[in-house]
Each structure stands twice: as structure tokens, then as C-alpha cells.
């Protein structure tokens, strides 16, 4: 009897059979796969399953506890909603990529050891890049390569951290890292932070997500950053550094979102901002804060998906995604507008919507730990969230000046998917106990107190007042904003110019001098020979002797254990395969 | 009545909406004066209307900082990366 089924099996293996079906049957199959994954997660009970011995390692595919279950639940829901949204797409490779991506994120969530975790983590990067490339325009292809390049580097940093972790502790268990010191601690942390898009390691997100396909961006918004939040929650709770990193991140996203003209780029910056709240809460590490991070990730996946679906619907039906080119769509896409607004009010933490019951836990945790600056700055970031997503996007897209476009509502499956997400946003907001029940820690928390409701309404409605006073000045500008990606998009070019114009001439000059001074002078040449024989050769010989001695020492260090060699081999293979991509 | 019609009606009555909006703003500040405060963590928790003021200050800061950054430093033409 099988006591445990890995939900990724439905998504990753099931996805491979998508091309064998056609038409309506294929559509049903595409919905059934994530539904089965969700069902398995719902029926799962805590425990450790799927332990496999491999080359002397104990691989754990199914560490099921409240933390992994909460994330797995929302990941599989997001896969179901995303699949529904993408039902009209006739591109098998995109469906497969989306499911492999979602399945790997579930795989990473349930992984109990770092090797399994790493494998799924990397699979996510490789599967997700197809959702960017599938748009099949030049900008997407290029952005996809940059995305992959950054994630390959991040993966290598993480792998290096895991190898050092294994070398120093002899374990590959994926647990809290508090006991680990030095390089392994920081390398793994950097690997996680890159996927969580913590500045300055964030630019891959806002560079690539706006270039993804309409349906691909919905999947992208859900998995990569939130799997990283899961990993941070698992391994780095209470790491103080993260409190400030997360708070800066929350404001960074808000400021850059204000400067974005492309709706999906703006939404991307707000992923960074929202994940900042979660990272800060993980850094606080108290029971309430951890609950807040998980609840916020849960709610965020649903409303951010909804917002990306709304933006995608506008892009698909009008062909435009820039605020400066949009306006007046409320007459033609009223249902899309209302569903989008449910997402916007949720992310802005309006009472009765999901953000209110999740984000407020994190802010309360900051108060409980008496962190006044963090409290004030996170509250300020919330203002920016409502300003951009609840006021700016809807006003300039659906109202404002008429842009002349006459779109219709998107296909029904897209509206249904948005409806599913919208329902959950309101449901969680009205009945938070359902969500609180899934959180890892047992904490008594009430979000609906009179002071809290009035506090939230004041913050939000006075922001709205400010916006309507300045609404003529806050529209999208036909501009782009420089961000960290400048360094690898333009900076590399500047560096090459420096090499051509400055370094190469200097080197050339040295060659000229060498020719005239050394080659032209035989006496010097004889001396040069002596120099070569006695000094340079001597040095070479000495180094060789050193190497022989060093190798002897190295031999002492080697353990002769097969599993260690195997780990190095697997690692090298991974590095090689990554390297071969470029 | 369908959603489109409702929205149309709201847009056509923007003036009334504005008045309602201001009334709501006033109301939530007034209510704040009468709310019992059981548990205050920071000194500003005791000040009625603090979060209204803080909301406006945050709004102004975010707009000013981002517009300044964009205007003087980070803004570029749309085909900056395509040359």
C-alpha cells in the first residue's frame, strides 16, 4: 500500500502527457492535474515520508509539517488557478513548463534534505524561464537569458554553501541554520535571498517578469519568491539582519514601483515590496512574526496572482501594458476592473480583505517586539502599496483619459480564474480563522479590533485623498528606470570599452618597450637567459616541489568515503550543465 | 443592473462621491477620539488621528522621493537599453 503520494508527481510527471491530448480533453486534463495535487496536499497528515537512500545519503522527499503544508496548500491552489487562467493557450510547452515549475516548487517545499531541495530549486529556474521565452519576442528572449544567468549564479552560490555545510557538519538535513557558522551560513543565505529578490539581488525579477507571457507571469508571481520565503522561514528564523533587509526591501519596491510605467513591472516591484514584509517578519522570528510571514505569503500568492491576471487581461485585450497608453477601460472591461480591485484592496490590507488579516500580523509583531522604526517604515510601505496598486493602476488604466482602445472582457476561463482568486481573497478577509488554522505556531491573534480597523482606514483613505489631489501629476511617464540590472546590461559594455580604450593600449605600449629594450640587445639577452635559468626555472621547480608536497598533504585530508566523492561529482556535473548553457 | 451601468453611474456622480469621501474622512478621525485604547505599544498609539497624519506624510514622502530619484538620476528614455 502507498502511504504517501508526492503532489509534484501529478504536476511534473503528469505534465509530460499533456501533448498526447487535444482540445477539450486536454483542457480537462490540465485542470485535473493541479486539482489532484491540491487534493493530495489537503489529505496529507504530518510526518516524514518518501525517505530514499541514495549513494549513502538519506534523501527526504516528504517532510510534512504545518509549515510545509501551508505553503504546499497555497502553491497547489495557485497552480490550479494559474492553469485555469491559461486554459485557452494553445502552446503545450508553456503548459508543461508551468506545471514542472509549480511541481518543483512543491518538491522544494516538501524536501527534508538540502540535496533534494537544491535539485527542485534549480529545476524551478530552468522550467520558469520557458514562461518568459514563450512570448517569443526579442525582449523576452534576452530577458530570459539574463534571468537564467542570474539564477545560475545564485544556484552556484547556494550549492557552494550546501557543500561547505556538508563538509563541516557531515549532514545534509535541511533545518534551522542558527548553529552553523561562517561561509556556509552566508552562502546559503545569499542563495535564498537572491530568489527572494532581496535588493541588490532583485533585478532579475523586474527585468524578466514583465517580459513573460500573459499567463506565464501569473505562475511566475507565485512560486520563486515565495519558495524562497519558505526556505528562509525554515532555515533562518530570527536572523536579525533580515529585519532591516526586509524593511528596506519593502520601501525599495514601493519607490521603484512609483517610477514604473509598465503595469506588470510595477506589479513586479510590489512583489519585492511585499516579500520585504515577509523577510522582515522572518528576521523578527517570534511566533507571531513567523505566523505573519506565512499568512502573508499565503494571502500574497492569491492576490498577487489576481493582480497579474488583471494586468494580463488588459494586456491581452488591448495589446498595451503601459499606464501612459491606457485609460478609460471601465466601460469595456467592468468585470475585469471589479476583480482587479478585489486584488488591489486585498494587497492594500483593507478591512474584510485578505491582506488586512495577514500583513497586520507582521506589523503587530514589530510592535510586540518594540521595534518603532521598523513599525513606522513598514506602515509607510503599506501606504505606497495602496497608492500604486489601489489608486494609480486602476485610475490610469480603467478611468482617467480615454485611450481610445475598445476591448472586450477576456475569455471566460480567465475571468473564472480571477473569480477563484478573488473569492479566496474575500473569504480569508471575512473568515481569517480558516487561514490562522493553517499557520505553524499557535498564537491568539485578533485582527478585527475597532482601533485596528480605524487605524487602517485612516492610513488608507487619507492616502486616497492625497492621490486625488495630485492625480494630474502622478500618471505614468514614457520612461524607464535604471536599476541594478544596469550593471550587467550596460556596465559590462562600459567595462569592455575600458578594456579596449585603456587597458589594451597600455599593454601594447609594454610590448613595444619589451621589444626595443630586450629583443634589440643581445647582451641583455644573454643576461635574460641566465635570469631565465636560475630565477624563473628555479621558481617553477620550487612551485612543482611545493605542489608535490601539497598533494601529499591533501592525500592525508581525503577521507576515501564514496559519498563525498559522489557529492562532488554531482556538484561538478551540475556546474558543468549550468556552464554549458552559456 | 449590471456592473458596467453601476460604474457609469458612479463616474457621472463624481461630485457626490467626493462629498461622501470627505464626510467619511472626517468621520473616521472623529471616531478615533472616542475609541478606548487598551494596549498601546508606542506613544503615538495614544494620539487620535495619528495614522491619518502619518498616512499623508508617508504619501508625500513616497511621491517626493520617487519623483526626485526618477527625475534627477534614474529616469532614461524607453529605448535606452536597445541602442
CA-based nearest distance B37→chain A, Å: 7
The answer, for B77 touching chain A at a CB cutoff of 8 Å, is yes
A109-to-A97, A103, A158, A274, A281 alpha-carbon distances in Å:
18, 10, 16, 20, 19
Asked if A405 and A259 sit in the same domain, the reply is yes
Q: Domain of residue A558: give its range.
A: 521-580
pLDDT at residue A389 greater than cutoff 50? yes
Does residue A562 surpass a pLDDT of 60?
no
Chain B residues within an 8 Å CB radius of A478: 78
Supply the DSSP symbol for A353: S
pLDDT at A115: 94
Q: Closest-CA residue in chain B for A467? A: B59
Mind telling me how many Å the CA of B16 is from chain A's nearest CA? 15
Cα(A529)–Cα(A511) distance, integer angstroms: 19
- Using CB atoms, pick whichever of B4, B36, B56 lies closest to residue A331: B4
pLDDT (0 to 100) of residue A571: 62
Distance from CA of A325 to the nearest CA of B (A): 14
Mean pLDDT value of segment A555-580: 54
Q: Work out the average pLDDT over A204-229.
A: 97
- Cα→Cα distances A151→A101, A144, A155, A157, A541, Å: 14, 11, 6, 10, 42
8 A C-beta contact, residue A174 and residue A120: no
Which comes out higher in pLDDT, residue A561 or A544? A544
pLDDT of residue A503: 86
What is residue A550's predicted lDDT score, i.e. its pLDDT?
60
Average of pLDDT values for A410-414? 95
**In chain B, what residues touch A384 (CB-CB under 8 Å)?**
58, 62
Contact A458 B60 (CB under 8 A): no
A291 within 8 A of A245, measured Cβ to Cβ: no
Q: Looking at the structure, do residues A305 and A445 belong to the same domain, yes or no?
A: yes
Residue A555 pLDDT > 70: no
- Of A484, A504, A532, which residue sits at a domain end? A484
Per CB-CB distance under 8 Å, the chain B contacts of A469 are none
* Partner-chain contact A331 B32, CB within 8 Å: no
So what's the pLDDT on residue A528?
A: 64
Q: Which of A457, A484, A511 is the last residue of a domain?
A: A484
Q: What is the DSSP pairing of strand A47-54 with strand A480-481?
A: unpaired
Best to test chain A binding among B66, B68, B71, B80 (most A CBs inside 10 Å): B66
Chain B residues within 8 A of A325 when measuring between CB atoms: none
Model confidence over A138-165: pLDDT tens digits? 999 999 999 999 999 999 999 999 999 9
Q: Is B27 on the interface with A (CB under 8 A)?
A: no
Domain boundaries, chain B: 1-35, 40-83
B80 touches chain A (CB under 8 A): yes
Helix/strand number for chain A, H first, E second: 26, 3
DSSP state of A488: I
For A255, the closest of B29, B51, B69 (CB atoms) is: B69
Do B62 and A338 make contact, defined as CB atoms within 8 angstroms?
no
Residue A582 has a pLDDT of 43
Q: Are residues A456 and A403 in the same domain?
A: yes
Half-sphere exposure of A91 (CA within 13 A, CB side): 16
Contact A368 B76 (CB under 8 A): no
Closest CA–CA distance from residue B9 to any residue of chain A (Å): 11
Is A527 found in the same domain as A480? no
Q: Does B46 touch chain A (CB under 8 A)?
A: no
Section A193-201 average pLDDT: 96
**A554 pLDDT above the threshold of 60:** no
Judge: A331–B3 Cβ closer than 8 Å, yes or no: no
Tell me which residue in B4, B58, B66 faces A259 most closely, judged by beta carbons: B66
pLDDT value of residue A178: 85
> Are A451 and B37 in contact (CB < 8 Å)?
yes
Residue A141 near residue A130 (C-beta atoms within 8 A):
no
Tell me whether B72 touches chain A (CB under 8 Å).
no
Name the percent of chain A lying above pLDDT 90: 77
Q: Which residues in chain A are closer than 8 Å to B4, comparing Cβ atoms?
A: 330-331, 334
Residues A120 and A104 sit within 8 Å (Cβ to Cβ): yes
Q: Indicate if A453 and A558 belong to the same structural domain.
A: no
**What's the pLDDT at A563?**
52
Q: Domain boundary residue among A431, A461, A484?
A: A484
A370 contacts on B by Cβ (under 8 Å): 41
Are A547 and A454 found together in one domain?
no
Instruction: Say yes or no for a CB contact (<8 Å) between A480 and B80.
Output: yes
Q: Would the CB atoms of B7 and A451 count as touching at under 8 Å?
A: no
Please report the ipTM that was assigned to this predicted complex.
0.95
Same domain for A424 and A550, yes or no, is: no
The lowest-confidence range among A285-289, A324-328, A477-481, A558-562 is A558-562
Which residues of chain A neighbour B28 with C-beta distances below 8 Å?
Answer: 454, 457-458, 461
Each residue's pLDDT tens digit, A51-64 = 999 888 899 999 99
Q: What is the pLDDT of residue B33?
A: 93
Q: Which of A161-170, A286-295, A445-454, A563-572 has the lowest mean pLDDT?
A: A563-572
Query: Is A459 exposed, middle or buried, given 0-12, 13-18 or 19+ CB atoms closer than 10 A?
Result: buried
Nearest CB partner across the interface for B42, out of A258, A375, A457: A375
Q: Is B76 on the interface with A (CB under 8 A)?
A: yes
Domain membership flag for residue A207: no
- The predicted pLDDT at position A3 comes to 77
pLDDT of residue A252: 97
Average pLDDT over chain A, rounded to an integer = 90
Q: Which tens digits make up the pLDDT trace of A340-373?
A: 999 999 999 999 999 999 999 999 999 999 999 9
Query: CB-based contacts of A191: which residues, under 8 Å, 6+ apart?
Result: A154, A155, A157, A158, A159, A161
In the predicted structure, residue A49 carries a pLDDT above the cut 50 = yes
Residues contacting residue A123 through CB under 8 Å, at least 6 positions apart: A100, A104, A107
Residue A435 within a domain: yes
When pLDDT is cut at 50, 70 and 90, the band that residue A581 belongs to is very low
Q: What is the pLDDT of residue A19?
A: 95
Condensed to tens digits (0 to 9), the pLDDT of residues A72-89 reads: 999 999 999 999 999 999
Q: Is the pLDDT of residue A580 over 50?
A: no
Name the domain count of chain A: 2
Q: Does B32 touch chain A (CB under 8 A)?
A: yes
What digits encode the pLDDT tens for the residues A514-545?
A: 777 766 665 666 666 777 766 767 666 766 66
Higher model confidence: residue B83 or residue A111? A111
Tens digits of residue pLDDT in A451-468: 999 999 999 999 999 999
* Mean pLDDT, range A201-229, rounded to an integer: 97
Give the number of beta-carbon pairs within 8 Å between A and B: 134
Q: Do A459 and B66 touch (CB under 8 A)?
A: no
Amino acid at each position: 500500500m502507498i502511504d504517501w503520494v508526492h503532489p509534484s508527481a501529478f504536476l511534473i510527471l503528469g505534465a509530460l502527457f499533456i501533448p498526447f491530448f487535444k482540445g477539450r480533453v486536454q483542457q480537462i486534463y490540465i485542470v485535473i492535474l493541479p486539482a489532484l495535487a491540491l487534493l493530495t496536499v489537503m489529505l496529507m497528515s504530518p510526518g516524514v515520508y518518501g525517505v530514499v537512500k541514495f549513494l549513502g545519503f538519506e534523501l527526504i522527499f516528504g517532510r510534512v509539517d504545518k509549515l510545509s503544508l501551508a505553503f504546499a496548500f497555497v502553491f497547489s491552489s495557485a497552480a490550479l488557478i494559474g492553469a485555469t487562467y491559461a486554459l485557452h493557450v494553445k502552446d503545450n510547452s508553456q503548459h508543461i513548463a508551468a506545471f514542472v515549475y509549480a511541481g518543483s516548487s512543491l518538491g522544494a517545499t516538501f524536501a527534508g534534505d538540502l540535496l533534494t531541495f537544491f535539485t527542485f530549486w534549480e529545476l524551478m529556474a530552468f522550467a520558469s524561464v520557458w514562461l518568459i521565452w514563450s512570448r517569443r519576442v526579442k525582449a523576452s528572449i534576452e530577458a530570459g537569458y539574463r534571468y537564467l544567468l542570474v539564477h545560475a549564479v545564485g544556484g552556484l552560490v547556494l550549492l557552494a554553501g550546501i557543500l561547505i555545510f556538508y563538509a563541516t557538519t557531515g549532514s545534509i538535513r535541511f533545518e534551522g541554520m542558527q548553529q552553523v557558522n561562517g561561509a556556509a551560513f552566508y552562502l546559503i543565505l545569499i542563495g535564498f535571498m537572491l530568489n527572494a529578490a532581496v535588493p541588490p539581488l532583485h533585478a532579475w525579477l523586474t527585468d524578466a517578469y514583465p517580459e513573460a507571457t500573459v499567463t506565464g507571469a501569473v505562475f511566475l508571481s507565485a512560486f520563486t519568491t515565495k519558495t524562497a520565503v519558505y526556505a528562509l522561514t525554515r532555515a533562518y528564523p530570527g536572523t536579525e539582519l533580515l529585519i532591516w533587509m526586509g524593511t528596506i526591501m519593502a520601501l525599495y519596491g514601493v519607490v521603484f514601483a512609483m517610477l514604473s510605467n509598465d503595469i506588470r513591472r510595477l506589479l513586479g516591484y510590489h512583489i519585492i515590496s511585499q516579500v520585504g514584509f515577509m523577510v522582515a517578519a522572518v528576521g523578527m522570528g517570534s511566533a507571531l512574526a513567523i505566523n505573519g510571514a506565512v499568512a502573508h505569503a499565503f494571502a500574497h500568492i492569491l492576490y498577487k496572482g489576481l493582480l497579474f491576471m488583471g494586468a494580463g487581461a488588459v494586456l491581452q485585450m488591448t495589446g498595451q501594458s503601459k499606464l501612459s497608453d491606457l485609460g478609460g477601460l471601465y466601460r469595456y472591461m467592468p468585470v475585469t476592473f471589479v476583480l482587479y480591485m478585489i486584488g488591489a484592496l486585498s494587497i492594500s490590507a483593507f478591512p474584510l480583505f485578505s491582506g488586512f488579516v495577514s500583513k497586520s500580523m507582521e506589523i503587530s509583531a514589530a510592535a510586540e517586539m518594540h521595534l518603532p522604526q521598523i513599525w513606522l517604515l513598514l506602515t509607510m510601505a503599506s501606504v505606497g502599496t495602496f497608492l500604486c496598486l489601489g489608486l494609480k493602476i486602476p485610475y490610469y488604466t480603467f478611468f482617467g483619459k480615454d485611450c481610445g482602445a475598445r476591448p472586450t472582457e477576456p475569455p471566460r476561463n480567465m475571468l473564472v480564474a480571477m473569480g477563484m482568486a478573488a473569492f479566496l481573497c474575500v473569504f480569508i478577509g471575512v473568515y481569517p480563522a480558516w487561514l490562522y488554522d493553517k499557520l505553524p505556531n499557535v498564537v491568539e491573534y485578533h485582527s478585527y479590533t475597532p482601533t485596528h480597523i480605524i487605524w487602517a482606514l485612516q492610513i488608507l483613505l487619507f492616502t486616497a485623498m492625497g492621490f486625488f489631489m495630485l492625480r494630474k501629476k502622478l500618471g505614468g511617464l514614457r520612461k524607464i528606470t535604471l536599476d541594478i540590472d544596469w550593471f550587467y546590461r550596460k556596465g559590462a559594455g562600459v567595462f569592455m570599452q575600458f578594456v579596449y580604450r585603456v587597458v589594451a593600449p597600455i599593454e601594447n605600449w609594454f610590448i613595444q618597450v619589451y621589444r626595443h629594450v630586450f629583443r634589440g640587445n643581445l647582451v641583455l639577452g644573454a643576461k635574460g637567459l641566465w635570469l631565465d635559468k636560475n630565477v624563473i626555472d628555479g621558481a617553477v621547480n620550487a612551485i612543482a616541489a611545493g605542489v608535490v608536497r601539497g598533494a601529499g598533504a591533501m592525500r592525508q585530508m581525503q577521507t576515501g568515503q564514496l559519498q563525498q566523492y559522489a557529492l562532488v561529482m554531482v556538484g561538478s556535473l551540475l556546474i558543468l550543465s549550468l556552464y554549458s548553457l552559456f | 443592473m449590471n456592473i458596467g451601468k453601476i460604474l457609469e453611474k458612479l463616474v457621472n456622480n463624481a461630485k457626490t462621491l467626493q462629498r461622501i469621501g470627505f464626510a467619511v474622512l472626517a468621520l473616521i478621525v472623529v471616531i478615533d477620539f472616542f475609541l478606548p485604547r487598551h494596549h498601546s505599544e508606542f506613544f503615538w498609539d495614544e494620539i487620535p488621528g495619528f495614522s491619518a497624519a502619518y498616512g499623508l506624510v508617508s504619501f508625500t514622502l513616497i511621491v517626493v522621493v520617487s519623483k526626485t530619484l526618477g527625475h534627477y538620476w534614474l529616469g532614461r528614455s524607453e529605448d535606452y537599453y536597445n541602442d
